[in-house]
C-alpha cells in the first residue's frame, strides 16, 4: 500500500467516525431529532393496527393509543405534531419500513440509524475505491467533506439517507459490472422510496441503452412489484389513500406548510433547507403556479440537452461519470429537494477526480481547478456544518434569512451547467458489452 493510499484510507476512517459522532450528537441535542423517521415509523405501524396513515385524525388516534400521550400543542411540540400527523411519504416507503415498524420505538430508531450509517459509509468507501490507485487523497478529501456534512441524515432519520446510499451502491455495481443483481435490488428499493432522488439515475441507465437499459427495465419491474404489494397492503385499511395522500401533499406545500419553499414559512429554511429553484423564485412572486412553472422552464432546456446527449453518445464508463455528475444537481432544481438529498453529490466525485487527473500535468490547469472548486462549493453550501455556523451567528433573522435561500440552488445550477458542458463536449464510442 502506497503512502498516498494509506493517507486516503485513514482520512476515510476518520470521516466515517466523525459522520457517526456528529449525527448522533445532532440527534441527541435536537428536540426535533428523528421526526422524519417517526413519521414513517408510526405511519407504517398504524397500518398494521388497522388505522389509516393518511388521515391525520386516525394517525393521531393511533399515536395516542400506542404511546399513551400526545405532544403538547406549543413550541417545538407543535412542530412535531405537524410532522408526525400529516403523512406525506409514499405507500412504498411505509411498506418497506414495516419490518422495523414492528419493533418498539427505541429498537427501531437504533436499527434505522445503524442501517443508514452502515449503508452510507459503505457507499462512500465504494466510491473512494474507484480513485484509490490514481488520486486517493483527492477522492478521500471530497468524500470526507461530504461525510462530515451529513449528520442530518442520522439526526432526522429521513429515508434519503438510505436512498442515497442504495443509489450510489447500484451505480457502482452497474458501472463496475459486479454484483449486478444486488445493484438492481438497491436501485429498485431507492426508486420505490424516493423516485425524485433515484429516478434521474435510473433514467441515465435507461437512455444510454445496451445492457444498461435491460438493467433499468429489470429495476423498474421490481419497483412495480414493490408498488403493487404496497398498495395491496395499504388498501384494506385506507381504500381512499390516493386522494388522502394528495390532500396531505397540498397541506404541507401550501403557504405556511412545512414543505413550502416560499418566504412566508420557516419550513423550507434552516439547516435542512429546500434547495430547489423555487426557494429563490418565490421571492419574486410567492405563487406556486409561478415558481413551479418558472423552475421547470429554467431547468427543462438543460435536461433536454442532457437526454439528447445520453441517447446519442452511447456508453463508456468514463463518460457515465460526467453524465451522472451533471444530472444529479440538475434534477434537484425544478422539483422539491432538501439538503440531505444533495448527498447524491457523491456521484460527482469521480467526475471531479477524472478532470483533475486529466489536467494536472498541463500548463493550463484551470479545468481541473474549476471542477474541484465548484464541487467543493456545492458540497459545503448544501451540507450541514456551514449552515449550522451561519444560523448560530445570525439567529435565523434579518437579511440573513433571505440570503440563505440563494447559495445552495445557485451553486447547484453552476455545477450542473459546468458538468453538462464537459459532458456535451465529450464523445466516446459504445463499449462492447
Q: Long-range CB contacts (< 8 A, 24+ apart) of 89-92?
A: 89/39, 89/40, 89/43, 89/159, 90/192, 90/193, 90/230, 90/245, 91/227, 91/230, 91/231, 91/233, 91/234, 91/241, 91/245, 92/192, 92/193, 92/226, 92/227, 92/230
pLDDT tens by residue, 83-124: 778 899 999 999 999 999 999 999 999 999 999 999 999 999
What pLDDT is recorded for position 246? Answer: 95
CB 135 within 8 A of CB 8: no
Closest by alpha carbon to 300, among 312, 288, 308?
Answer: 308
Q: At what angle do helices 349-359 and 407-425 cross, to 10 degrees?
A: 60
Phi and psi at residue 232, in whole multiples of 5°? -65, -40
Whether residue 207 lies inside any domain: the answer is no
**Would residue 421 count as lying in a domain?**
yes
Residue 419 within a domain: yes
Domain that holds residue 402: 271-433
**Block residue for cell numbers 432522488:** 197
Q: How far is CA 330 from CA 255, 301, 387, 416, in A?
A: 25, 11, 22, 5
**Is 359 within the bounds of a domain?**
yes
Query: Where is average pLDDT lowest: 3-17, 18-32, 157-171, 317-331?
Result: 18-32
Is 27 inside a domain boundary?
A: no
- 45 in a domain, yes or no? no
Measured over all CA atoms, what is the biggest interatomic distance in the chain, rounded to whole angstroms? 69
Evaluate whether residue 246 is within a structural domain: no
Percentage of residues of the chain with pLDDT beyond 70:
93
Residues for the chain: how many in total? 433
pLDDT at 365: 77
Q: What are phi and psi of 98, to 5 degrees?
A: -55, -40
**Is 361 a member of any domain?**
yes
Domain count of the fold of the chain: 1
Amino acid at each position: 500500500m502506497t503512502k498516498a493510499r494509506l493517507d486516503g484510507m485513514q482520512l476515510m476512517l476518520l470521516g466515517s467516525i466523525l459522520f457517526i459522532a456528529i449525527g448522533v450528537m445532532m440527534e441527541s441535542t435536537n428536540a426535533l431529532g428523528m421526526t422524519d423517521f417517526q413519521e414513517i415509523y408510526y405511519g407504517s405501524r398504524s397500518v398494521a393496527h388497522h388505522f389509516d396513515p393518511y388521515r391525520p385524525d386516525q394517525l393521531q388516534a393511533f399515536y395516542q393509543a400506542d404511546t399513551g400521550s400526545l405532544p403538547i400543542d406549543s413550541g417545538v411540540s407543535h412542530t412535531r405534531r405537524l410532522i408526525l400527523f400529516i403523512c406525506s411519504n409514499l405507500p412504498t416507503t411505509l411498506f418497506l419500513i414495516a419490518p422495523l415498524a414492528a419493533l418498539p420505538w427505541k429498537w427501531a430508531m437504533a436499527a434505522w440509524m445503524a442501517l443508514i450509517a452502515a449503508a452510507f459509509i459503505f457507499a462512500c468507501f465504494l466510491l473512494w475505491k474507484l480513485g484509490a490507485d490514481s488520486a486517493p487523497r483527492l477522492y478521500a478529501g471530497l468524500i470526507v467533506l461530504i461525510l462530515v456534512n451529513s449528520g442530518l441524515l442520522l439526526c432526522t432519520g429521513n429515508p434519503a439517507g438510505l436512498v442515497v446510499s442504495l443509489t450510489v451502491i447500484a451505480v457502482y455495481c452497474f458501472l463496475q459490472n459486479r454484483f449486478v443483481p444486488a445493484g438492481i435490488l438497491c436501485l429498485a428499493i431507492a426508486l420505490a422510496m424516493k423516485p425524485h432522488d433515484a429516478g434521474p439515475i435510473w433514467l441515465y441507465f435507461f437512455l444510454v441503452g445496451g445492457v444498461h437499459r435491460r438493467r433499468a427495465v429489470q429495476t423498474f419491474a421490481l419497483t412495480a412489484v414493490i408498488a403493487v404489494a404496497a398498495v395491496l397492503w395499504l388498501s384494506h385499511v385506507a381504500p381512499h389513500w390516493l386522494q388522502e395522500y394528495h390532500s396531505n401533499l397540498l397541506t404541507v406545500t401550501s403557504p405556511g406548510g412545512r414543505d413550502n419553499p416560499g418566504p412566508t414559512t420557516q419550513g423550507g429554511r434552516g439547516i435542512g433547507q429546500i434547495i430547489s429553484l423555487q426557494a429563490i423564485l418565490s421571492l419574486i412572486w410567492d405563487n406556486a403556479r409561478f415558481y413551479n412553472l418558472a423552475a421547470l422552464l429554467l431547468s427543462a432546456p438543460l435536461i433536454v440537452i442532457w437526454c439528447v446527449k445520453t441517447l446519442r453518445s452511447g456508453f463508456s464508463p468514463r463518460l457515465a461519470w460526467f453524465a451522472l455528475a451533471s444530472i444529479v444537481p440538475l434534477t434537484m432544481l425544478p422539483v422539491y429537494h432538501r439538503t440531505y438529498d444533495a448527498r447524491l453529490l457523491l456521484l460527482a466525485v469521480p467526475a471531479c477526480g477524472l478532470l483533475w487527473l486529466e489536467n494536472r500535468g498541463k500548463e493550463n490547469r484551470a479545468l481541473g481547478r474549476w471542477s474541484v472548486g465548484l464541487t467543493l462549493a456545492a458540497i459545503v453550501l448544501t451540507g450541514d456544518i456551514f449552515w449550522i455556523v451561519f444560523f448560530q451567528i445570525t439567529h435565523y433573522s434579518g437579511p440573513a434569512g433571505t440570503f440563505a435561500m440563494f447559495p445552495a440552488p445557485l451553486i447547484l445550477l453552476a455545477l450542473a451547467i459546468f458538468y453538462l458542458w464537459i459532458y456535451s463536449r465529450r464523445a466516446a464510442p459504445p463499449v462492447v458489452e
